[in-house]
Amino acid sequence: MTSGAEAGPPPAGGGARGAPGWPGGAAATLTVLIATPLEAGHVDRIAAADRRIRVIYEPGLLPVPQFEADHAGQPRDLSPADLARWSDLRSRAEVSFDFDWQDPAGMTANCPRLRWVQGTSAGLGGFLERTGLARTELVVTTAAGVHAVPLAEFALLGLLYLAKDVPRLSRLQRARQWEMRHFRQLAGTSAVLVGLGGIGRETARLLAAAGVQVTGVGRPGRCYDVPGVTSYIADTEIDSALPGADALILACPLTERTRNLIGARRLGLLPRGAVLVNMSRGQVVDEQALTAALHGGHLGGACLDVFETEPLPASSPLWAMDNVLVSPHSASTVDAENRLITDLFIDNLGRWLAGSPLRNVYDRAAGY
C-alpha cells in the first residue's frame, strides 16, 4: 500500500526508459501533446525544458476548466473540423501530458506514435482498468506525491472538525445562541493510518506535529521508515489495531487488495465515537455499512472526500448527517497543483530524453 516516488522500467516492451537514441540519437525532436487545460506559463516551461521538445497545445480544442487545476472541465461544442484537427494533433504525439479527453480508451489506436502518458492524478488504477490501458504497453506515470500536502491538510481538518464539533458551533452561531460546553483535544489521541506512500507520509508528519500517535498500516514484508509513525503493522493485522484507534484514516490506493477493506465488521471493531477519514477511493469502504455505523451512533463522525458513486447521489443520507463532512473529491485540488505536476513532468521529460528511469511509473501488478 505504498506508492514509491521513483520506479524503474517495467517489463520488456514497456519502454519506461527514455526513447532509444537519446541523447544524440537519430530523432531530432520529441513531440509532446498537452491534452488537458494548462496555464500558458506552464506550457512555456515545458517547451523550454529542452531544445528537442516540440509542444502541441491548442486550448480551444480542450474542455473548459471550471476551476483552477480542473483536468476534466466541460466539453466544448466542437465542429467537425475542430474534431478532425484534434484527431490529427493526437496522432502526432509521442508523449502526452494527461489522457485524451475525447477517447482515452482508444489512445493506442488513435495515437499510433504515443509511448508515454504523464497522468495528473495519483490514483489511476481504476481508470486504467476501465479504459483497458492497463493491458497495453503504454508507459503511464502518475502524479503521486503532488497531492500529498493538501490531502494531509484535509485529514487534519477532518479530525479537528469533529474534535471541535464545528457542526454544533455552526448551528449555535446561526441561532445566535451562546452555549458553553467542552470539546475534545486532538493531541494525545491515536490514529490508524492505512497507506504509507507520499500522501500517507505527509499525513503522518502533520498528525504527529499535532500530537496524534500514528500507527502505520503497510503491506506485509515491507520495511517502512516514515517520520511521525510510532508503530507499524501489516494490513493483514489491521484488526488488532482498530479497537484502540480514535481515528481511522485511509490514504491507500484502490487495488484488489484494498477494495472493500473496511466493512461492517471492521467498523464495529473501532471504539464507539471513533471517526473515519477517507481520502483514498470510495470503494475502499462499504458505504452502506459506514452510513449505518454513523446513523446508529457507533461512529462519532466521518470526513469523506471520496464515495462509491460520484457525484454523491442527492438521495444519500450522508448529505444530511451533521457529523459527516462531504467533500466533492477535490480535497487534493489546490492552486499550486498545475505547477507541481508540471515540475514533475519536466523532471520526467529529462529522464526520458536521457534514457533514465521515470518517476511514478504505474505498476500494473500492484495496481498503482
**Which pLDDT tens digit goes with each residue over 153-207?**
999 999 999 999 999 999 999 999 999 999 999 999 999 999 999 999 999 999 9
What separation, in Å, do the N-terminal and C-terminal C-alpha atoms of the chain show? Answer: 9
21 in a structural domain: no
Q: What pLDDT shows up at residue 28?
A: 75
Q: What pLDDT shows up at residue 8?
A: 34
- Given a contact cutoff of 8 angstroms between Cβ atoms, the answer to whether 144 and 366 are in contact is no
SS (HEC) of 131-189: HCHHHCCCEEECCCCCCHHHHHHHHHHHHHHHHCCHHHHHHHHHCCCCCCCCCCCCCCC
Sequence-distant (≥ 6) Cβ neighbours of residue 280 within 8 angstroms: 123, 194, 195, 250, 251, 252, 253, 254, 258, 306
Residue 16's pLDDT band (cuts 50, 70, 90): low
Instruction: Say if residue 19's pLDDT is above 80.
Output: no
141 in a structural domain: yes
Q: Is the domain of 119 the same as that of 71?
A: yes
Mean pLDDT across the stretch 38-49?
Answer: 97
- DSSP classification of residue 303: E
Mean pLDDT across the stretch 39-53?
Answer: 97
Q: Is the domain of 105 the same as that of 159?
A: no
pLDDT in tens, 51-91: 999 999 999 999 999 999 999 999 999 999 999 999 999 99
Q: Is the domain of 165 the same as that of 269?
A: yes
* Residue carrying the nine cell digits 482515452: 104
Supply 229's cell numbers.
509513525
Q: Is the domain of 76 the same as that of 93?
A: yes
Instruction: Say if residue 335's pLDDT is above 80.
Output: yes
Q: Is the domain of 133 the same as that of 107?
A: yes
Please count the CA atoms within 13 angstroms of the CA of 231 that sit on its side-chain side: 12
**Domain that includes residue 127, residue range:** 30-146+334-354
364 in a structural domain: no
pTM of full prediction above 0.75: yes
Q: What pLDDT shows up at residue 6?
A: 34
348 in a structural domain: yes
240 in a structural domain: yes
Number of domains in the chain: 2
Q: Is the domain of 277 the same as that of 316?
A: yes
Q: What pLDDT shows up at residue 366?
A: 87
Q: Is the domain of 161 the same as that of 254?
A: yes
Sequence-distant (≥ 6) Cβ neighbours of residue 283 within 8 angstroms: 126, 254, 259, 260, 308
pLDDT in tens, 277-290: 999 999 999 999 99
Q: Is the domain of 156 the same as that of 296?
A: yes
Q: Is the domain of 274 the same as that of 159?
A: yes
Residues with active-site annotation: 281, 310, 329
259 in a structural domain: yes
Residue 330's pLDDT band (cuts 50, 70, 90): very high
Q: How far apart (Å, rounded) are the C-alpha atoms in residues 287 and 299? A: 13
Instruction: Say if residue 323's pLDDT is above 70.
Output: yes
Q: What pLDDT shows up at residue 1?
A: 38
Rg (CA), the chain: 22
160 in a structural domain: yes
In total, the chain counts a number of residues equal to: 368
* Residue carrying the nine cell digits 474542455: 63
Mean pLDDT across the stretch 236-252?
Answer: 98
**Mean pLDDT score across all residues of the chain:** 92
Q: Could you tell me the CATH number of the domain that includes residue 94?
A: 3.40.50.720
Q: Is the domain of 175 the same as that of 318?
A: yes
Q: Is the domain of 252 the same as that of 340?
A: no
Q: Is the domain of 231 the same as that of 313?
A: yes
Q: What pLDDT shows up at residue 9?
A: 35
22 in a structural domain: no
pLDDT in tens, 251-276: 999 999 999 999 999 999 999 999 99
> Residue 245: what residue type?
A
- Given a contact cutoff of 8 angstroms between Cβ atoms, the answer to whether 218 and 235 are in contact is yes
> Residue 332: what residue type?
S
